[in-house]
Amino acid sequence: MFLCTYLLTVPYLAHKALRIFLAMLHLVFQSTFDSSLLDRFERSDDVVFLESAIYRLTKGNLLNDELDKIYQSKINLYVLTCDIETRGILRNELFIGVEAIAYSDLVRMTEKNRVIRTWT
């Protein structure tokens, strides 16, 4: 009881404590983002890049060093198959560790993750 009361009085600590127990689903729509967005992802989070944001996940991108750190941290990176097909991007052009998924997989992720954050 004391811990809950204390965490409610200190919002930052409460956020960090909740992140220990809850994986988060991040939906990234931003096509122009930098490493500060990537720093917000935690181990075991599911991160789905949608629409034009998938361009930032191609090999040879300026963010490849940061993406490598994310890959090493066991953060799950995804793109929708329909998004890469629409934009003419081949799977082998994506950064290592980025998995192409179907829309039905995205629906399952929304059911699995209790916390969903959208980046637009």
8 A C-beta contact, residue 18 and residue 42? no
**Mean pLDDT score, 81-94:** 95
Which amino acid is located at 79 in the chain?
A: V
Copy the structure tokens of residue 86: 């629409």
22-119 has which fold? Hypothetical Protein Ychn; Chain: A, (3.40.1260)
Q: Residues 115, 42: contact at Cβ < 8 Å?
A: no
Question: To the nearest whole percent, how much of the chain has pLDDT over 70?
Answer: 82
Domain layout of the chain by residue ranges: 22-119
Range of weakest confidence among 6-10, 49-53, 89-93, 110-114: 6-10
C-alpha 19 chain-centroid distance: 14
Residues 67-86, mean pLDDT to the nearest whole number: 90
Most confident of 27-31, 39-43, 51-55, 100-104: 100-104
Higher pLDDT, 87 or 12: 87
Q: Edge-to-edge strands of the sheet including 115-119?
A: 98-101, 76-80, 46-49, 24-28, 115-119
